[in-house]
Chain A
């Protein structure tokens, strides 16, 4: 068993609600809200307008730079309108509203089988780039960028992230049980793309069935191994996972490739397999719909652009006393004010909570108890950082390493004063980024 990084917390996992439910395919909704930009980095640029007819798999937004990915239409139909809609990432974002024509007709060239055994490294990178694949654990970092490390930073280990440490969520768990072979095929493609022989599937110990299934599946596959991980949040965070498996530390401000490791979420591996083997761009994902507020918790295969409202209805609707709807998990997710928010490539779950389960932040002063210091997996000092941020002393927050904060929420989880710590850090990070942008 691997998994010993400093810090971390043990929240209630509540995974049983949905972990036993097989993935159900969600029917085509009446309309889809597809955001034009679905990745971290440079936003993509729309290439369609109101009134256009689109085919399933047709590019509707093109990358706006290297760290950017295209967006494809999730079905065939007509674009009813474009405009700004609430998006699960907490902003109002430009999107196309697509009315499906019901035919679900693929764009020419898509959806045909391809032999993936002979694909070369460059071909794999191009396929991943053109399919619009991003990190599907939630961060939506463009995958082709991760597959293009500079020559002086050799990578010797590929880690498949099946830790799924975020409470409530079970989408990766279900994928590992139901799409085992496809995930490993996708992983082999990644390994070939960066020429890595050592592939580790990292799964938290609270998913024994997934560990077993994966162990059976990797038998006979060269270089593959399965590593059960200690159950602690945030085990699945990239830097923590690399440390748990290899003992290497990613330098402050650096990328995982600087520790010689590449981490890919299991969902991303599946997307890569579908893009290469079936010529299907990334237009759907598994979303865990769970929490005490939903009638029938479960795991739903939904198209990108499916409004939350439709998914919740598909799962039997929400109870009247639901107080909070979160996109993602309760630790890092973002609460939604509108069910018009739609699934994007990073929406791993929708969690519905009742009033009694929702903590309210109070802007109480820090009592210097130091619990956040022992909880922070990045070895930061959240107490001092938040006090600086409150006084708008952003230079000091930078000196104290706020830019290394991974926004996992462990500090806010343990804070007895219920301080909105992560919000302070998000604000400080935005301010520091703005200032460095202004300074050129």
Chain B
């Protein structure tokens, strides 16, 4: 009995001694700065910065190979925190961007051209006559963007359309890449007038396909300050650098222009029909 206890304890001591020596001899040198930076990074490993994960970016920043605001997801707060670690003043203060789905054609408003019975995935549906919506530009509402979002910021509303929760959205742009229709854009948070349509169809065709489509009447272009809204192939497009008065929304005969703060997700849901 005693022999066994002593033998095992001896083995344990020997093993731990070996480990202790190995830990000293083979220690991997890590930059304490990189570790500190990794602490403040969001940790989603989303890859939006172009690096495989957050630690890789942290190391690059610590080495001085990347800017302190290289994480598009963290935004200003993270950049400031990294600035403190690196001993640099962060003064950029770039605007926060959030994703916006440029379509308001949910199941109540948009006309369907066929009954889709297949995989619950927008890319798959898009391969079949461009999806079940009569409008070939509209949100298919099958949630491929929601699946791609690393932050759980996108919901598919019961009406069958994707909406971004801009509190959770970090502007990483994963959804922009994932959307087969290419109708998700990153816009500056804090803007409050939006044209929720991506249809380049001519007015009559657009109106036939969807009750909230931009018909290219240009009323908003005239009502808005010069250059704030321009026409691009039968579609009114907002220039987000310009200030647009909320009254412009009232000019739209189709109700395509919605007023909500991109920051205020409650307002956005209201615009999308509530959830």
Contacts and interface: CB of A to CB of B under 8 A. Distances in A.
Contacts of A424: 119, 124
Interface stretch (A85-93, A157-165, A185-193, A232-240): A85-93
Interface residues of B, number: 15
A338 B124 CA distance: 19
Secondary structure dominating the interface of B: loop
B127 A361 contact: no
Nearest to B134: A337
A427 B121 contact: yes
Interface of A: 86, 90-92, 334, 337-338, 360-361, 363, 390, 392, 420, 423-424, 426-427, 430-431
A360 B117 contact: yes
B119 A423 contact: yes
Interface string B126-163: 01111000001000000000010000000000000000
B123 interface: yes
A361 B120 CA distance: 11
B114 interface: yes
A337 B117 contact: no
A338 B119 CA distance: 21
Given A337-B113, A337-B114, A338-B113, A90 B128 contact: yes
- When A and B form their complex, which 7 residue pairs have the shortest distance between CB atoms, in order from nearest? A337-B114, A427-B124, A420-B118, A423-B118, A423-B119, A337-B113, A90-B128
Name the residue in B114, B129, B130 with the highest tally of chain A Cβ atoms < 10 Å from its Cβ: B129
Interface string B102-127: 00000000000110011111011001
Contact of A92 (B119, B124, B136): B136
B129 A337 contact: yes
B128 A363 contact: no
A423 B124 contact: yes
B129 A91 contact: yes
Contacts of B147: 392
19 contacts: A90-B129, A91-B130, A92-B129, A92-B130, A361-B117, A363-B119, A392-B147, A420-B118, A420-B119, A423-B119, A423-B124, A424-B119, A426-B124, A427-B123, A427-B124, A427-B127, A430-B123, A430-B127, A431-B123
B211 to A, nearest CB: 20
A430 B129 CA distance: 15
Interface of B: 113-114, 117-121, 123-124, 127-130, 136, 147
Contact of A363 (B114, B120, B130): B120
A363 B123 CA distance: 16
A337 B113 CA distance: 7
Given A423-B124, A427-B123, A430-B123, A86 B129 contact: yes
Contacts of B120: 363
A412 to B, nearest CB: 11
A86 B118 CA distance: 19
Contact of A90 (B121, B123, B127): B127
Contacts of A92: 129-130, 136
Contacts of A420: 118-119
B54 to A, nearest CB: 22
Nearest to A334: B128
A307 to B, nearest CB: 16
Name the residue in B114, B117, B130, B136 with the highest tally of chain A Cβ atoms < 10 Å from its Cβ: B117
Contacts of B123: 427, 430-431
A15 to B, nearest CB: 26
A392 to B, nearest CB: 8
Contacts of A363: 119-120
Nearest to B132: A337
Contacts of B124: 423-424, 426-427
Contacts of A361: 117-118
A424 B124 CA distance: 8
A323 to B, nearest CB: 10
A86 B129 CA distance: 7
A430 to B, nearest CB: 6
Nearest to A87: B129
Contacts of A427: 119, 121, 123-124, 127
A431 B127 CA distance: 11
Nearest to B144: A392
Given A337-B129, A424-B119, 5 more contacts: A363-B120, A390-B119, A426-B127, A427-B121, A430-B127
A420 B127 CA distance: 14
Contacts of A430: 123, 127
A431 B119 CA distance: 15
Contacts of A392: 147
A417 to B, nearest CB: 13
A31 B29 CA distance: 76
A390 B120 CA distance: 10
Nearest to B120: A363
A143 B44 CA distance: 51
Contacts of B130: 91-92
A392 B124 CA distance: 12
Contacts of B119: 363, 390, 420, 423-424, 427
Nearest to A363: B120
A400 B124 CA distance: 20
Contacts of A338: 113
Contacts of B117: 360-361
B44 to A, nearest CB: 17
A430 B125 CA distance: 13
A103 B190 CA distance: 65
A209 B104 CA distance: 59
A100 to B, nearest CB: 26
A108 B117 CA distance: 49
A73 to B, nearest CB: 26
Contacts of A337: 113-114, 129
A420 B129 CA distance: 17
A211 B130 CA distance: 42
Contacts of B118: 361, 420, 423
A390 B124 CA distance: 11
Contacts of B121: 427
Nearest to B115: A337
